[in-house]
Amino acid sequence: MKKLVIALSTIFLFSQCAKKATETVTAPVDQTWRKMAPAPAAARDIAIGDYTAFDLANGLKVIVVENHKLPRVSYQLSFNNDALIEGDKAGYTSFAGDLISKGTTTRTKAQIDETIDYIGASMSTSASGIFASSLKKHTGKLLDVMTDVLYNPVYPQDEFEKIRKRSASNLATTKTSPEAIAGNIKSIVNYGPNHPYGEVQTEESIKNISVDDCKKYINTYFKPNNAYLVIVGDITPAEAKMQAEKYFSSWKSGDVPAFKYPTPIAPTGRQVAFGNKDGAVQSVINISYPVDMKPGSPDAIKSSVMNSILGGGIFSGRLMQNLREKKAYTYGARSNIATDKLIGNFNAFASVRNEVTDSSITEFIYELERIVNEPVSAEDLNLSKSSLNGNFGRSLESPQTIANFALNTFRYNLPKDYYNNYLKNLDAVSVTDVQDMARKYVRPSNCNIIVVGNKDNVADKLKKFDSDGKLDFYDAFGKKLEDAKIEMDPNLTAAAVVNDYIEALGGKAKLNGVKSMYTAMKTNVMGQDATLETYQMAPDKFAMKVNMMGMTVQEQKYDGTKGLNAQMGQKKVITEGEELEEMKAQAKMFEQLMYGDAGYKLDIKGIENVEGANCYKVIVTTPKGDVTTEFYDIKTNLLTRSVKTEGEGEKMATITNDFKDYKAVEGVMVPHAITISGAMPVPMVLEATTIEINKTVAADVFKVE
Rounded CA gap, 236 and 228, in Å? 18
Rounded CA gap, 555 and 702, in Å? 11
Question: Burial of 59 by CB count in 10 Å (0-12 exposed, 13-18 middle, 19+ buried)?
Answer: middle
Q: Measuring CA to CA, which residue among 327, 333, 328, 297 is closest to residue 312?
A: 333
- Indicate the residue type of 519: T
- Indicate the residue type of 205: S
Rounded CA gap, 425 and 385, in Å? 10
**Residue pair 129/78 in contact by the 8 Å Cβ criterion:** yes
Q: What is the mean pLDDT of each run of 10 residues along the chain (705 residues)?
A: 45 41 44 58 61 96 94 96 95 97 97 97 96 97 98 97 92 89 97 94 95 98 97 96 98 96 94 93 96 95 97 89 96 96 96 96 98 96 92 85 90 89 94 98 98 94 96 94 76 96 96 95 84 92 90 90 87 88 84 90 92 92 92 97 81 86 96 88 90 93 90
What φ, ψ does residue 669 adopt, rounded to 5°?
-80, 125
Rounded CA gap, 285 and 277, in Å? 13
Q: Does residue 681 sit in helix, strand or coil? A: coil
H or E element, residue 524? strand 516-525
Tell me if the bond preceding 539 is cis, omega within 30° of 0. Answer: yes
User: DSSP per residue over 118-136, as a string?
Assistant: HTT-EEEEETTEEEEEEEG
Name residues whose C-beta falls within 8 Å of residue 496's C-beta, 6 or more positions apart in sequence: none
Rounded CA gap, 644 and 278, in Å? 8
Q: Does residue 447 sit in helix, strand or coil? A: strand
Name residues whose C-beta falls within 8 Å of residue 561's C-beta, 6 or more positions apart in sequence: none
* Sign (positive or negative) of CA dihedral 330, 682, 678, 189: positive
Tell me if the bond preceding 683 is cis, omega within 30° of 0. Answer: no
Cα radius of gyration (the chain): 30
**Partner residues linked to 104 by β-bridges:** 153
In this structure, the strands spanning 270-276 and 472-474 are parallel
Q: Measuring CA to CA, which residue among 451, 450, 456 is closest to residue 643?
A: 456
> What per-residue confidence (pLDDT) applies to 46?
59
DSSP conformation class of 654: E
In degrees, rounded to 5, the angle at the alpha carbon of residue 446 between the alpha carbons of residues 375 and 469 is 130
> What per-residue confidence (pLDDT) applies to 550?
84
Q: Where do the domains of the chain lie, and which CATH numbers do they carry?
A: 52-177+204-248 (3.30.830.10), 270-402+416-481 (3.30.830.10), 488-702 (2.50.20.10)
**Residue pair 132/230 in contact by the 8 Å Cβ criterion:** no
Q: Does residue 550 sit in helix, strand or coil? A: coil
CA distances from 544 to 52, 532, 705 (A): 66, 7, 15
Neighbour count for residue 214 (Cβ, 10 Å): 24
In degrees, rounded to 5, the angle at the alpha carbon of residue 678 between the alpha carbons of residues 675 and 681 is 100
> What per-residue confidence (pLDDT) applies to 483?
64
DSSP conformation class of 324: I
**Partner residues linked to 541 by β-bridges:** 537
Rounded CA gap, 174 and 287, in Å? 20
> What per-residue confidence (pLDDT) applies to 45?
56
Q: Measuring CA to CA, which residue among 288, 297, 439 is closest to residue 375?
A: 439
Q: Measuring CA to CA, which residue among 198, 168, 203, 204 is closest to residue 185?
A: 198
**Residue pair 501/512 in contact by the 8 Å Cβ criterion:** no
Rounded CA gap, 481 and 246, in Å? 56
H-state helical runs in 528-613: 578-586
> What per-residue confidence (pLDDT) applies to 13?
42
